[in-house]
Structure 1
Amino acid sequence: MTEAASTALQIEEPLEDRLAAQLCEAAAVYLEPKQVDDIYRAYQFGAQYHQGQYRVSGEPYICHPLSVAIILAGMRMDHNGLMAAVLHDVIEDTPATKEQLAEEFGNEVAELVDGVSKLTQLDGKTKAEAQAENVRKMFLAMVKDLRVIMVKLADRLHNMRTMGGMSPERRRRIARETLEIYAPLANRLGINQVRLELEDLGFAALYPLRYKVLDQAVRKARGHRKEVVAKIRAAIDTRLQESGLHCEVLGREKHLLSLYEKMRDKHLTMQDVFDVYAFRIITDSVDDSYRALGVVHNLYKPVPGRFKDYIALPKANGYQSLHTVLAGPFDLPMEIQIRTREMHGVAESGIAAHWLYKSEHEQARVHEWLRELLEIQKNAGDSMEFLDNLKVDLFQKEVFVFTPKGKIVKLPRGSTLVDFAYAVHTDVGNHCTAGRIDRRPAPLQTVLQNGQTVEIITSTWARPNPQWLNCVATVKARSAVRSSLRDFQQQEAIDLGRHLLEKELGSHDAVLADISADKLAEALKVFHLPNLDALLEDIGLGNRLPLLVAQRLLQDGAPRAGTPNERERGEGSSRAAYSPLIIRGTEGMVVSLARCCRPIPGDAIIGFFNPGKGIVVHQLDCNNATEFRKKKQTSWLEVEWDKQAAGEFAAEIRLELVNKRGTLAEVASTISRMGCNIENVSMVNQDAQTSTDFITLTVKDRVHLAGVMRELRKLPVVLKISRAKT
């Protein structure tokens, strides 16, 4: 280390200088002196530009990037990566530019810092959209250089360690993002040490009370377990030595988030979880690992169906180990992991094994995933879709199946034949028509199980089916289907829409070419569409009925919503219900509200074309609407309420009331006080204590109805209240 760098070793100097000295000492263990000097020079540059900036804790801001770099030095990050860590916030938070960094420290460092920096020009974006944009940018940079994500993970880890001064709301938001994206990402990249700490810190910040209770219970249980753990460990160690195996046997403790999730998902008590003992055996070779497995299986009885060989079939993140569960002393279940020292290092460090072990296998595995990630990014329609796809990818668990030639294909649990087809090749997925599982025909939606042999049947005419999106489990399949549908669905929809519209116009002795430009322009303005292709696409996709479009194109005069008499003929119509209601493509049609569910503004709704009644509007979750949609899939269309909807709409509520004199009067008085009229009251059940009544009242919208129900719920005579519908 040079004289300039060694001055930071003085203990009486400020915290930032002491951290710089700690970083230089950690880097000097494996880097050249000149490289350590470059890191110190980066610290001086960052300290200058961050001068006057402080963290919530009151520490100088430069302490944070120094701490991030120290975390990475513990993973043997190269010197350019460490410089980027020290400088990772200067572009985002100071006047320093990417060009300045390139001039001072080289293009490599500048690109790394830019990759970690958040996007600043996100005007008009929601917080969720801004987060998605920044995650997408980070992953694109990560595809070019893995060190970007290493810096970002270390940055997030230090932020999680130092959240004490933040508001509870901000802590929860950061913790949720950490548990949804960064901890799964560390797991996907195999960085187990970082993942465990991110998960426990995130758990503590998101659910502080649950964390505290569980932590205290674990500490208490740990004291009672020491003697049992020591006996089992000694028995395993002795038997391994007798077999000529020199292994390291370690007791292993589950971290708190893992315990919490197991209790929550499997409905276990703390005692049930704590009764599982865990050990890890570290061997010198793969051969020794399998021999050690035989030793422990001879020592304690293995539990059937609980053995997994991740050495022969590694996990997607490169993790390799043998897992087995044994019935230990006093029939206590024991989880045992057996792996080599190098496998253990990769399991703990993941992609950091690039620097620790120079593992070609590890590099190939990660770059394969990054190539898939790049394909997902290209196929994603926007950043929100990319983020959704990423979360699916990060949380996957594996199932292993075989091709007819015996090649192993690794897929997330819950994958179908469609996922398998896309895993083989995108073109295979795009043209698949059916499949065989263990030589037997199977539908494409069939969920795959471990060990099956899978074959895909393709046809050149076949195209992706939109329904596949409901059954696929892999991000590659989902993004490829969406991309393919976007590519050809638009033109196909336009062609289909033209055919349907021409057919409908033909029934009126007209053709589309006869429609004047003015009439077409007027219709497009009413439909809020830019051109004829957009209208035809809407028809082809089923968003508009060709009958309604044809009627609009052929009608004379201004559009109408139906005369009062026509409205009264509608199903459950109301004279105030129609002017504020927008039904896309229903100009000139009679519109009515269904009596069965009585939709009001604010409800999610759906419309059905009913000959003789026009468009009948139901609530989206109405049982009648659901049944009708199943039977007549082409007769429904999207509808929506106008934002300025005003008037009175009939709604029906169901009340269970105390059966005593004056009850209905008290209810009616409250309803009147809330600005509503009662149209009808019917009693469906009555005994000595209670009665069940249905009341039809008029309200302005869903919010108004909620207020009325809230006030009624406060009455002592109201035992239960709900909105009535089929």
Structure 2
Amino acid sequence: MIRFNDIIEEVLKYNPQADVEALQKAYIFSAQAHKGQTRLSGEPYLIHPLEVAYTLTKMNLDVPSVISGFLHDTIEDSFVSKEEIESDFGKEIAELVDGVTKISKIPLKTSEETRVDNFRKMILAMSKDIRVILIKLADRYHNMQTLNFMSPDKQIEIARETLEIYAPLAHRLGIEWLKGELEDISFKYLNPAEYRMISEKLAKTKKERDSYINEVKELIKEKFQQFNLKMEIRGRAKRIYSIYRKMVQEELNIDDIYDLTAFRVLVDNVKECYLALGIIHAFFKPIPGKFTDYIALPKANMYKSLHTKVIGPHGEKIEIQIRTHEMHRLAEEGIAAHWKYKEGKVFDPKEDKVFAWLRRIIESQQELKDNREFMEVFKIDLFPDEIYVFTPRGDVKELPKGATPVDFAYAIHSDLGHRCIGAKVSGKLVPLRHKLRSGDVVDIQTHPNHKPSKDWLGFVVTSKAKTKIRQWIKTEQRERSIELGRALIEKALARHDLSMSKMLKAGDFLTIAKEFSFETVDDLFAGVGYGLYTPLHVLGKYIPESDKPSKLQKIISTIRKGKDTTIKIEGVDGLVVRFAKCCNPIPGDKILGFITRGRGLTVHVADCPNIHTYDDQRKVPVSWELNKQYAYPVRLRISGEDKKGLLSEISAVMSAHKANILSAQAMTYPDKSAASIYEIEIGHMSQLQKIIKSLQKIKGIRSVERMRGNA
């Protein structure tokens, strides 16, 4: 357990002039505020702020940040006001604590929309003071360490959010040790079978791995001594989640991965980095295509190092990183190593290249009103795997891996992206969906009358390209839909001898628009043009009930038939409902509806990739309304060992949870692994989660995943 003295000891290591009295005052304030409170573990609540403050010292943060670590929960969980904190500790610390409180208030069990609003608040808080998110990361880290005291459902939800949002944020801020810790803990709860298998393998091989690390270290030291080059070498085991990612990406078994360790060579200056690289390549055969120079071209978080892979002494692959001691400090401390508070200046992300990604997210936050689009853009900018390409003038542009000429064009200017019709890459014409590689020289060809295509959304990868293309398409579609909706309504009015122009002048259409919750008449016309409503719906609001012809009533009645009693549609009545085959939603899934002209409403899972390519104006909120018990087909892919009786154990789990098996396929592989695909009928997501959890407990099963569509 962390003690107050441990925190003081750590602070004084990197800041000998630290205000110890202020830290002690904050500790006492926190102890009094949380007196009598306990955590789910039964431990005194004070343990949590102590752990958070200690983590902040591991980041080498300034005294106000550590004080805020002690106080970060006092406003939310105690009867303490922001004004009290400002009175006792000053405005700077009050703002930090208030910033953390604002992004912690939303409960986890809430709607997706509300959670996205929470992330928007987090981005705004980051833009004002980056220390807010560093304190939040420290808070999340300790919460993850005590996740075992939460319910299984919350464990999975919190772990997924951490893996998708907080671990990438730690990476973007350059705090690699924290990123690795958050990934491994999240993975432990999200895929316990695979986590257990990899950790057991690492434990079994620890002795021989340690021996191997010492052997390679001595061998490299010996080579460097021949050149009188002073250096320090370290060896380490790779992290569990990193190993799992490699297994998935390269379709390997744990026994097929030989480079479970990595080595780091530390030297005094940049010149010695390249000299060290030459020595290593002279004595160990380099693997072609496996060298990356992050010194000449640093990562977005300013990480610098030379990465190379070579053939080791026993014919195995070895990963070696070469960097200066200063580069290593930057890599370990991340954003704290760039700190400007030490100089008494407020950190401005606009002035620092490290925060180019944050500026992009802030722009998206302002431009994108749709929360799902914002989250998609947010996640794109959080997962950097950069390439470096050049303009014809020789300027370097940093893009994510998989970027296309269209992404490159938008990175330079929105107008260049809109007018892009082709590209030359290193002198050769390529298709617009061509994937760029580091070192490419890209020359964009344009036409003044060209417009973006909706098809581009299928291959562009940068947040800026996706945002600008969608904005253009929305504007174009809205204008066309207003024209179409107006024409359809005018035609329907003419059948009843009603004048569009007279109704517009009288303000009748604005009244009707308000009844449909639209702000303007154009919004109403666009709604009809998109297919959200029919002209008959509009007429139904205008023609008095007694005057409606029976024919109109019959038509409206026909439109309203076929409503699925399992789905509640907000703001729209009477559409025929069907479920999307691409994602097969089941009760318990977060869902979203899409209105298709002439086909009614199609229900998708909220995070279905397909629905994000559709027009937002035709998406409608829907929810489950279960009046009857229905059976829904679900497909599961189960991977594990090829062992006798495994299929019988799987079937027994299905039967125990009252799931009807519709079909089953089993496959075995030469490496003694097996995979099976089961199609079962279930009634609700909670039933499916129990089945998956039970299957993961079966010895020999490595992973259980729900399959979407016909995948």
* TM-score range relative to shorter protein: 0.7 to 0.9
SS in 2 for 1:372: helix
Residue in structure 2 matched with residue 557 of structure 1 by the alignment: 549
1:278 aligns with 2:262: yes
Once the 2 structures are TM-superposed, how far is the Cα of residue 118 of structure 1 from its aligned partner? 3.5
Q: How many angstroms apart in 1 are the aligned matches of 2:133 and 2:562?
A: 55
Counterpart mapping for 1:663-678 below 5 A: none
Question: Whose Rg is larger?
Answer: 1
Find the partner of 1:394 among 382, 387, 409. 382
One-letter amino acid matched to 1:450: S
RMSD between superposed Cα atoms in Å: 4.9
Once the 2 structures are TM-superposed, how far is the Cα of residue 156 of structure 1 from its aligned partner? 1.3
Once the 2 structures are TM-superposed, how far is the Cα of residue 59 of structure 1 from its aligned partner? 2.5
Once the 2 structures are TM-superposed, how far is the Cα of residue 230 of structure 1 from its aligned partner? 2.8
SS in 1 for 2:314: helix
Residue in structure 2 matched with residue 533 of structure 1 by the alignment: 522
Q: How many angstroms apart in 2 are the aligned matches of 1:587 and 1:101?
A: 51
- Report if the CA contact (8 A) 1:300-1:326 is conserved: yes
Find the partner of 2:51 among 58, 67, 91. 67
Report Cα offsets for 1:476-511 as digits up to 9, x if no partner: 222333445556754564246446766898999997
One-letter amino acid matched to 1:128: E
- Report if the CA contact (8 A) 2:75-2:101 is conserved: yes
Residue in structure 2 matched with residue 413 of structure 1 by the alignment: 401
Counterpart mapping for 1:150-161 below 5 A: 150-161=134-145
1:184 aligns with 2:173: no
Report Cα offsets for 1:88-125 as digits up to 9, x if no partner: 11111112111221121111111111111145876999
Once the 2 structures are TM-superposed, how far is the Cα of residue 462 of structure 1 from its aligned partner? 5.1
With CA pairs under 8 Å and 6+ residues apart, which has the higher RCO, 1 or 2? Answer: 2
Q: How many angstroms apart in 2 are the aligned matches of 1:352 and 1:532?
A: 53
- Report if the CA contact (8 A) 2:425-2:441 is conserved: yes
- Report if the CA contact (8 A) 2:71-2:97 is conserved: yes
Find the partner of 1:215 among 199, 212, 222. 199
Residue in structure 1 matched with residue 694 of structure 2 by the alignment: none
- Report if the CA contact (8 A) 2:399-2:462 is conserved: yes
Residue in structure 2 matched with residue 675 of structure 1 by the alignment: none
Find the partner of 2:459 among 453, 471, 475. 471
Report Cα offsets for 1:321-366 as digits up to 9, x if no partner: 1121112223211111111111112122211212499899998222
- Report if the CA contact (8 A) 1:191-1:350 is conserved: yes
1:139 aligns with 2:137: no
Once the 2 structures are TM-superposed, how far is the Cα of residue 409 of structure 1 from its aligned partner? 1.0
Report Cα offsets for 1:487-543 as digits up to 9, x if no partner: 675456424644676689899999742668699689869978665322321355466
Structure 1 window deviating more from structure 2 (212-221 vs 164-173): it is 164-173
Q: How many angstroms apart in 1 are the aligned matches of 2:510 and 2:177?
A: 63
Q: How many angstroms apart in 1 are the aligned matches of 2:85 and 2:623?
A: 53
Distance 1:241 1:356, change over 3 A: farther
Once the 2 structures are TM-superposed, how far is the Cα of residue 44 of structure 1 from its aligned partner? 1.5
- Report if the CA contact (8 A) 1:605-1:617 is conserved: no
One-letter amino acid matched to 1:479: T
Residue in structure 1 matched with residue 90 of structure 2 by the alignment: 106
Counterpart mapping for 1:314-333 below 5 A: 314-333=298-317
Find the partner of 1:449 among 426, 437, 442. 437
One-letter amino acid matched to 2:466: R
- Report if the CA contact (8 A) 2:577-2:602 is conserved: no
Once the 2 structures are TM-superposed, how far is the Cα of residue 375 of structure 1 from its aligned partner? 0.8
One-letter amino acid matched to 2:522: D
Find the partner of 1:38 among 14, 22, 34. 22
Counterpart mapping for 1:182-581 below 5 A: 182-274=166-258, 277-355=261-339, 364-458=352-446, 463-485=451-473, 490-491=478-479, 493-495=481-483, 497-498=485-486, 512-513=500-501, 532-541=521-530, 557-558=549-550, 560=552, 577=562
Distance 1:553 1:451, change over 3 A: farther
Structure 1 window deviating more from structure 2 (577-586 vs 211-220): it is 577-586
One-letter amino acid matched to 2:524: L
Distance 1:159 1:242, change over 3 A: same
- Report if the CA contact (8 A) 1:115-1:148 is conserved: yes
Find the partner of 1:174 among 158, 167, 176. 158
- Report if the CA contact (8 A) 1:221-1:274 is conserved: no
SS in 2 for 1:406: coil
SS in 1 for 2:205: helix
Identical residues among aligned pairs (%) = 40
Q: How many angstroms apart in 2 are the aligned matches of 1:210 and 1:367?
A: 35
Residue in structure 1 matched with residue 147 of structure 2 by the alignment: 163
Counterpart mapping for 1:577-588 below 5 A: 577=562
Distance 1:617 1:347, change over 3 A: closer
Once the 2 structures are TM-superposed, how far is the Cα of residue 256 of structure 1 from its aligned partner? 0.8
One-letter amino acid matched to 1:494: I
Distance 1:439 1:159, change over 3 A: same
Once the 2 structures are TM-superposed, how far is the Cα of residue 377 of structure 1 from its aligned partner? 1.3
Q: How many angstroms apart in 2 are the aligned matches of 1:639 and 1:46?
A: 46
Distance 1:92 1:460, change over 3 A: farther
Q: How many residues align?
A: 606
Once the 2 structures are TM-superposed, how far is the Cα of residue 277 of structure 1 from its aligned partner? 4.7
Q: How many angstroms apart in 2 are the aligned matches of 1:114 and 1:397?
A: 34
Q: Please give the TM-score of this superposition, normalised by the length of structure 2.
A: 0.72
Counterpart mapping for 1:20-35 below 5 A: 20-31=4-15, 35=19
Unaligned runs of 5+ in 1: 1-14, 568-572, 594-600, 610-614, 622-632, 648-701, 705-726
One-letter amino acid matched to 1:331: G
Unaligned runs of 5+ in 2: 579-585, 605-613, 629-681, 685-711
Q: How many angstroms apart in 1 are the aligned matches of 2:577 and 2:179?
A: 56
1:149 aligns with 2:137: no
- Report if the CA contact (8 A) 1:552-1:588 is conserved: no
One-letter amino acid matched to 1:533: D
One-letter amino acid matched to 1:365: K
Structure 1 window deviating more from structure 2 (361-370 vs 194-203): it is 361-370
Counterpart mapping for 1:696-711 below 5 A: none
Q: How many angstroms apart in 2 are the aligned matches of 1:222 and 1:397?
A: 30
Find the partner of 1:51 among 35, 45, 49. 35
Once the 2 structures are TM-superposed, how far is the Cα of residue 176 of structure 1 from its aligned partner? 1.8
Once the 2 structures are TM-superposed, how far is the Cα of residue 473 of structure 1 from its aligned partner? 0.8
Distance 1:488 1:42, change over 3 A: farther
Q: How many angstroms apart in 1 are the aligned matches of 2:619 and 2:69?
A: 51
Q: How many angstroms apart in 1 are the aligned matches of 2:117 and 2:621?
A: 30
Once the 2 structures are TM-superposed, how far is the Cα of residue 416 of structure 1 from its aligned partner? 2.2
- Report if the CA contact (8 A) 1:561-1:578 is conserved: no
Q: Please give the TM-score of this superposition, normalised by the length of structure 1.
A: 0.71
Residue in structure 2 matched with residue 76 of structure 1 by the alignment: 60
Structure 1 window deviating more from structure 2 (51-60 vs 291-300): it is 51-60
Distance 1:29 1:643, change over 3 A: closer
SS in 2 for 1:330: coil
- Report if the CA contact (8 A) 1:319-1:346 is conserved: yes
Distance 1:547 1:420, change over 3 A: farther
Q: How many angstroms apart in 2 are the aligned matches of 1:584 and 1:96?
A: 40
One-letter amino acid matched to 1:406: G
Once the 2 structures are TM-superposed, how far is the Cα of residue 26 of structure 1 from its aligned partner? 2.3
Q: How many angstroms apart in 1 are the aligned matches of 2:570 and 2:91?
A: 54
Residue in structure 2 matched with residue 679 of structure 1 by the alignment: none
